[in-house]
Amino acid sequence: GRKTEKEARAMSQWKCFNCKAAMEDVDDIKIAYKDLDLPDATGYRCPSCGLEFMDGEFVVNELNSAETMLEGK
């Protein structure tokens, strides 16, 4: 689901621990699982150094179900 305004505001205040720049909200983080390229993830990227973090909700909701399916469990 969509982030609440409060969540979005909280995330927009995250700072990169490498260079202290404000993190940007993005939806094009490249991810791969073993040798598969998966759809882009939502998360946060530092505009200065490029450090990326995936959104926790995306990981729990999307990646867990995809991993379970891929592993055939």
pLDDT, tens only, 11-63: 557 899 999 999 999 999 998 888 888 889 999 999 999 999 998 888 888 87
Question: Can you give the pLDDT at residue 1?
Answer: 56
List all residues 6 or more positions away from 51 whose beta carbon is below 8 Å from its beta carbon: 16, 17, 18, 45
For 27, the enclosing helix (H) or strand (E) is strand 24-33
pLDDT at 67 over 80: no
| Single pTM value for the model | 0.68
Please give the mean pLDDT across all residues of the chain: 83
How many whole angstroms separate alpha carbon 64 and alpha carbon 31?
13
